[in-house]
Structure 1
Amino acid sequence: MMDEDETSLFAQEVAGIKPLEKSEVYLGKKGPMVDFAARQKAALIAKEADRNHLSQDYVEKVEPNDVLEYKRSGVQDGVFKRLRQGKYGIEARLDLHRHTVAQAREHVYQFTDDCMRHDIRVAIIVHGKGDRTPDPDSQAMIKSHINKWLRELDAVMAFHSAQRHHGGLGAVYVLFKKTEKARLDDWEKHQKR
């Protein structure tokens, strides 16, 4: 039992509290109405965002005038040489000028996905050299991230800085692996010969 001091203290603490309206009280299983469509949409958006595995953390910095090059094992030297020389037709282009690193990350991931869905073998990504940035520590940030991200993408077989007429050190040629559909098409072409 509470004594008089406790009762008056309690009364002081609860003074000014209004009871909830009946429509605001939810007891038991009759909880508030849940908008499952909104929840499902939010879950799908979160799942889509989670698909992008490109790292956002530390990146090894490259200089504005560095040449970017990478070749997975299994890519023939002649194929890489033709890529490096810009002798393949460019089927798609992504321009990342005036983008933040976060925006570039999203665009590169989506661009790669689009290229694979449309059986694109060779593309170019224009990242800029980043040499006009006043802060020397933030120069070539997009270029540095491109160098890292393209290595992380399974669909990328090789990449190399572009020839001068395609953007030079401010762009990179990207060779994507063949899709299963493209492999079958090639196989059928060679069978008909």
Structure 2
Amino acid sequence: MKKLTSMADLEGVRRSLEAQRLEAERLGEIKAEKARIKAEEEKKRHDEANLFKRQVRDVTPLRDVNIKIHKPVKPLPIARQRELDDESVLWESISDEMDVERFLETDDKLSYRRNGVGLEALKKLRKGKWVVQAQIDLHGLRSDEARTAVGEFLRSSVKHDIRCVRIIHGKGLGSIGKEPVLKEKVKRWLVQKDEVLAFCQAPPRDGGAGALLVILKARQ
């Protein structure tokens, strides 16, 4: 085990443990919500079955004469991957209220790396040594539209095995009060996305303060 030699090491451990705790809480909430919906669906099916039995309890069954039994029609194949994609959209829950600052590296770029991601990968990202393979421009989008667009963009990128992307959120010069609203929200969204391994502010040639460079996990 690596010996902790400074307050920075201790702070790194604290951030890592806190990130793991928040991730576990998020997954627990999703699991609980799925269980609740499943229980409601089971209860509904049970109630409907009992209702049918009560409605037909006084009906006299017909005699089994002149009955032709047809072979069941084989159902069409299920697009399982599409179902998984739809489910991921359904359960996507990213908040605008998360306190993202505690997850960010304390450098001038306010970088982020998920627990287990090496510092070297983030250093290369800051220096622009990762090749940007795709990008999305959020200019002109409202907050909800931007959040949906970012989620879909990340899923599509991972599906096509794209590892490095640029998200252009703008500098907020056209917003009320000249505040970079999307800039801060995008950071919150990315921290909560499983697809995201690390991100940092883009170097000047790639958009500077108006964009983020993001490393995504490899396609499974």
TM-score normalised according to structure 1 size = 0.61
Q: Distance in 2 between matches of 1:113 and 1:79?
A: 21
The answer to whether the aligner puts 1:87 opposite 2:129 as a matched pair is yes
Q: In the TM superposition, what are the counterparts of 1:173-188 in structure 2 within 5 Å?
A: 173-180=213-220
Change (3 A) 1:61 1:51: closer
Is 1:91–1:122's contact at 8 Å kept on the other side of the alignment? yes
Percent of aligned pairs with the same amino acid: 34
Higher relative contact order (CA 8 A, sep 6+): 1
Question: Residue in 1 aligned with 2:154?
Answer: 112
**Structure 1 residues without counterparts, runs of 5 or longer:** 1-28, 30-43, 181-193
Gaps of 5+ in 2: 1-54, 56-82, 102-107
| Greater share of helix | 2
Contact kept, 8 Å, 1:68 with 1:161, in 2: the verdict is yes
Cα 1:159–1:48 change in 2 (3 A) is: closer
CA RMSD of aligned residues (A): 2.5
Return the offset for 1:131: 3.2
Q: Deviations over 1:60-95 (max 9, x none)?
A: 599xxx834101122112111011111111111010
CA distance in 1, matches of 2:204, 2:214: 16
Q: Distance in 2 between matches of 1:61 and 1:51?
A: 21
Q: Which whole-Å CA distance do the structure 2 matches of 1:60 and 1:88 have between them? A: 28
Deviations 1:4-32 (Å, cap 9, x if unpaired)?
Answer: xxxxxxxxxxxxxxxxxxxxxxxxx9xxx
Q: Evaluate the alpha carbon distance shift between residue 74 and residue 61 of structure 1 in structure 2; reply closer, same or farther with a 3 A threshold.
A: closer
- Give 1 or 2 for the bigger CA radius of gyration: 1
- How far apart in 2 are the matches of 1:156 and 1:61? 14
Give the equivalent residue in structure 2 for 1:4: none
Runs of 4+ in 1 over 4 A off after TM superposition: 46-49, 59-62
CA distance in 2, matches of 1:48, 1:73: 22
**TM-score (ref. length: structure 2):** 0.54
